[in-house]
Amino acid sequence: DIFTNFLPGYRRQQDFVEKYKPDAITISIGGNNINFGKKLLYCILNQYSCYEDAGNKQKILAEIKAQIEPLSATYKSLKQKSPSSRIYVIGYPELVKPGGDCANNVRLSGDELTLAQNIVHDLNQAIKLSAKKAGVVYIDATKAFDGKRLCEADSKQLAINGITAGNDKLMVIGNETYHPNKLGHQLYKDVILSQTNNLQTVMPEPDGSVDSNSLDSLLMPTGTQVDANIGRPILEDGLFGDIMKVGSTITKTLTTNNYFFKPGSQFRVEVHSTPQEIGMATATSINTLDINTVLPDNLAPGLHAVHILGNDINGQPIDIYKDFFVIASEADYDGDGILNSSDSCTFISPVNVDYDKDGIDDGCDPEISEPPADPPSNPTPDPTPSPEPPKTTPSPKVIKIKKAIVSIIKAFFSFFIHLFR
């Protein structure tokens, strides 16, 4: 039933490819691998511009470059499972217009708009290189939403949702936030079909000469000084839960697959936003790390990150990290004295404006459209309608006579049909 009905979530998508051998495959991955959504969420919630120093941009670029090999391996795996399939790798569209006029449901500063734009650019560069390496077609969707990006047009004309109330991402916002709406998906489809000759473009030959150093970065343009002491960021999203309380104990043996430790080496455990050391972790083997620490009581409700800092087996600095949310209580996540059930935007401060009168604060309204038209100030009353004639109910005797007539007619037609069979 799972394969027959294409039920999602029960089998890997690769299994469906192997079973059905489709003529064409479209695939878009990479954003979640670098925690792009949570990075933007941190920017939304931070009162200052996020990731603004060169060290943070260097870390993001390192994460992006690290995706080239695994993405290429994924595309190659699809080719092996279905050699005749045409595989189209879709890049990410620009979400925002730097320097544009942003509505209340965007909440990004000018520097953050540029940061988001640059991350999309660099991520697309990595996806393009990985597709070239694997011998599949890359689709450049960068300009798919031009003219309809956030901060570029009226909300009702946009291809992207703004901040959307919900509890999907770390119990704070909906997954629809900064994702394409119905119009966006239509524009996305148009770009895919136009660049692939309606999914007929043939596959190129693999290019084994692809090198991550050839990535043309906007986060760190050519000539930017690189800090060799900054650890290579490694996302471990399953390290512990997404929602934590102050005073919570983190006890975990982390087992790794694609990076290794020197047994016995020590790692410093820190919690950010404001960095503070909260303990140590010990490598018990080349691929296991024992962590035992406690989240301090002085963490304010909001988005934070644990960073485990040390050196890998080759002596190179690494930064193992996990983003999480600290809540004040189960009933009042942000500790503002307003229960979650009554808090319109939870951690995102409401702007106390509802321009389109849809009952959703504009600070977390995905689409801010035009308000409904006001009714006329002195409407002309409708003329009094003529009274309907009273309905008469037939007497029981009349009802019985009608039923008898119907029965006679049915019997006649039944006889007539049987007579001429």
pLDDT digits over 276-288, tens only? 999 999 999 999 9
Q: From 135, 30, 34, select the one nearest 80 (Cα to Cα).
A: 135
d(CA 317, CA 312): 6
pLDDT digits over 180-204, tens only? 999 999 999 999 999 999 999 999 9
* H/E segment holding residue 304: strand 302-311
pLDDT at res. 168: 67
pLDDT at res. 386: 54
The H helix count followed by the E strand count for the chain is: 7, 13
Residue 293 and residue 269 in contact, taking contact as beta carbons nearer than 8 Å = yes
For range 407-416, the mean pLDDT: 38
d(CA 119, CA 64): 9
DSSP secondary-structure letter at 342?
A: G
User: Among 3.90.1150.10, 3.20.20.150, 3.40.50.1110, 3.30.390.30, what is the CATH number of 13-214?
Assistant: 3.40.50.1110
Kindly list the domain boundaries of the chain, sorted by start residue. Answer: 13-214, 232-352
pLDDT at res. 395: 43
Q: From 78, 75, 84, 93, select the one nearest 190 (Cα to Cα).
A: 93
Burial class (CB in 10 A: 0-12, 13-18, 19+), 81: middle
Please state, as a whole number, how many other Cβ atoms lie within 10 Å of the Cβ of residue 279. 16
Q: State the architecture of 232-352 in CATH terms.
A: Sandwich (2.60)
Sign of CA dihedral 231, 234, 239, 243: positive
d(CA 65, CA 130): 10
DSSP secondary-structure letter at 96?
A: B
| Phi and psi torsions of 240, nearest 5° | -160, -175
pLDDT digits over 238-273, tens only? 999 999 999 999 999 999 988 999 999 999 999 998
pLDDT digits over 215-247, tens only? 999 999 988 888 999 999 999 999 999 999 999
